[in-house]
Amino acid sequence: MRTPLGRVRNLGSSHSGTTDFWRQRLTAVAMTLLIVPVIVIVLMLIGRNHAGAAQILGSIPIAIILVLFIIASAWHMKIGMQIIIEDYVHNETLKLVGVMANNFFCIAVALSSIYAILKLSSGV
Protein backbone atom coordinates (compact mmCIF):
# COMPACT_ATOMS: atom_id res chain seq x y z
CA MET A 1 0.00 0.00 0.00
CA ARG A 2 1.57 3.24 -1.15
CA THR A 3 0.31 6.76 -1.14
CA PRO A 4 -0.17 8.61 -4.44
CA LEU A 5 2.81 10.85 -3.60
CA GLY A 6 4.91 7.78 -2.85
CA ARG A 7 3.99 6.28 -6.23
CA VAL A 8 4.92 9.51 -8.04
CA ARG A 9 8.27 9.77 -6.23
CA ASN A 10 8.76 5.99 -6.56
CA LEU A 11 9.30 5.74 -2.81
CA GLY A 12 8.65 2.43 -1.19
CA SER A 13 10.18 -0.25 0.87
CA SER A 14 13.96 -0.38 0.66
CA HIS A 15 13.86 -4.08 1.72
CA SER A 16 16.77 -3.52 4.09
CA GLY A 17 15.13 -1.95 7.12
CA THR A 18 15.98 -4.76 9.52
CA THR A 19 19.66 -5.14 8.61
CA ASP A 20 20.93 -2.82 11.34
CA PHE A 21 18.48 -4.34 13.81
CA TRP A 22 19.84 -7.85 13.26
CA ARG A 23 23.47 -6.72 13.17
CA GLN A 24 23.02 -4.96 16.49
CA ARG A 25 21.46 -8.10 17.99
CA LEU A 26 24.31 -10.21 16.57
CA THR A 27 26.96 -7.96 18.13
CA ALA A 28 25.05 -7.97 21.43
CA VAL A 29 25.09 -11.78 21.49
CA ALA A 30 28.80 -11.80 20.60
CA MET A 31 29.58 -9.37 23.43
CA THR A 32 27.45 -11.40 25.84
CA LEU A 33 29.41 -14.55 25.01
CA LEU A 34 32.77 -12.78 25.21
CA ILE A 35 32.17 -10.75 28.39
CA VAL A 36 32.95 -13.62 30.81
CA PRO A 37 36.40 -14.34 29.32
CA VAL A 38 37.13 -10.60 29.13
CA ILE A 39 36.24 -10.15 32.81
CA VAL A 40 38.50 -13.09 33.71
CA ILE A 41 41.34 -11.55 31.69
CA VAL A 42 40.86 -8.16 33.35
CA LEU A 43 40.84 -9.80 36.80
CA MET A 44 44.09 -11.57 35.89
CA LEU A 45 45.63 -8.18 34.98
CA ILE A 46 44.77 -6.50 38.29
CA GLY A 47 47.89 -5.75 40.31
CA ARG A 48 50.31 -6.64 37.53
CA ASN A 49 53.04 -4.39 36.23
CA HIS A 50 53.68 -3.86 32.51
CA ALA A 51 55.84 -6.97 32.20
CA GLY A 52 53.21 -9.13 33.90
CA ALA A 53 50.44 -7.70 31.74
CA ALA A 54 52.51 -8.24 28.60
CA GLN A 55 53.11 -11.84 29.66
CA ILE A 56 49.38 -12.47 30.12
CA LEU A 57 48.42 -10.64 26.93
CA GLY A 58 51.22 -12.41 25.04
CA SER A 59 49.01 -15.46 24.82
CA ILE A 60 47.41 -15.78 21.37
CA PRO A 61 43.97 -16.95 22.64
CA ILE A 62 43.75 -14.04 25.09
CA ALA A 63 44.67 -11.51 22.39
CA ILE A 64 42.11 -13.04 20.03
CA ILE A 65 39.35 -12.87 22.67
CA LEU A 66 40.13 -9.21 23.39
CA VAL A 67 40.30 -8.26 19.70
CA LEU A 68 36.97 -9.99 18.99
CA PHE A 69 35.39 -8.19 21.94
CA ILE A 70 36.74 -4.83 20.72
CA ILE A 71 35.41 -5.42 17.20
CA ALA A 72 31.97 -6.45 18.45
CA SER A 73 31.80 -3.52 20.87
CA ALA A 74 32.86 -0.92 18.31
CA TRP A 75 30.45 -2.26 15.71
CA HIS A 76 27.61 -2.32 18.26
CA MET A 77 28.45 1.24 19.32
CA LYS A 78 28.51 2.44 15.70
CA ILE A 79 25.12 0.95 14.88
CA GLY A 80 23.49 2.22 18.07
CA MET A 81 24.72 5.79 17.69
CA GLN A 82 23.88 5.82 13.98
CA ILE A 83 20.29 4.83 14.73
CA ILE A 84 20.02 7.55 17.38
CA ILE A 85 21.46 10.17 15.01
CA GLU A 86 19.18 9.11 12.14
CA ASP A 87 16.08 9.11 14.34
CA TYR A 88 16.57 12.29 16.35
CA VAL A 89 18.60 14.68 14.17
CA HIS A 90 16.26 16.32 11.67
CA ASN A 91 18.65 18.63 9.82
CA GLU A 92 19.97 16.58 6.88
CA THR A 93 23.40 18.25 6.81
CA LEU A 94 23.86 17.84 10.53
CA LYS A 95 22.66 14.23 10.27
CA LEU A 96 25.22 13.47 7.55
CA VAL A 97 28.03 15.10 9.55
CA GLY A 98 26.94 13.23 12.68
CA VAL A 99 26.88 9.85 10.96
CA MET A 100 30.28 10.48 9.37
CA ALA A 101 31.78 11.60 12.70
CA ASN A 102 30.29 8.54 14.38
CA ASN A 103 31.86 6.24 11.77
CA PHE A 104 35.28 7.88 12.07
CA PHE A 105 35.15 7.84 15.88
CA CYS A 106 34.17 4.15 16.07
CA ILE A 107 36.86 3.16 13.58
CA ALA A 108 39.49 5.21 15.47
CA VAL A 109 38.52 3.63 18.81
CA ALA A 110 38.57 0.12 17.35
CA LEU A 111 41.87 0.54 15.53
CA SER A 112 43.67 2.16 18.45
CA SER A 113 42.40 -0.51 20.86
CA ILE A 114 43.37 -3.35 18.52
CA TYR A 115 46.78 -1.76 17.99
CA ALA A 116 47.32 -1.57 21.75
CA ILE A 117 46.34 -5.22 22.26
CA LEU A 118 48.53 -6.40 19.39
CA LYS A 119 51.46 -4.31 20.59
CA LEU A 120 51.17 -5.67 24.13
CA SER A 121 50.69 -9.23 22.91
CA SER A 122 53.76 -9.03 20.68
CA GLY A 123 55.90 -8.00 23.66
CA VAL A 124 57.23 -4.83 22.03
Quick count: other Cβ atoms within 10 Å of Cβ 49? Answer: 8
Query: Is pTM beyond 0.75 here?
Result: yes
CATH number at residue 116: 1.20.1300
Kindly indicate the confidence band of residue 17, based on its pLDDT and cuts at 50, 70 and 90: low
The parent domain of residue 83 ranges over 20-122
**Domain-located, residue 48:** yes
Average pLDDT of the segment spanning 1-28: 75
Res 46: pLDDT: 94
Contact 103/40 with Cβ under 8 angstroms? Answer: no
Please give the Cα distance from 32 to 26 (Å, whole number).
10
Contact 73/34 with Cβ under 8 angstroms? Answer: no
**Domain-located, residue 82:** yes
Kindly indicate the confidence band of residue 120, based on its pLDDT and cuts at 50, 70 and 90: confident
**Domain-located, residue 74:** yes
Nearest to 114 by CA among 56, 76, 63, 78: 63
**Domain-located, residue 3:** no
Instruction: Work out how many domains the chain is built from and give that number.
Output: 1
**Domain-located, residue 8:** no
pLDDT at 16 over 90: no
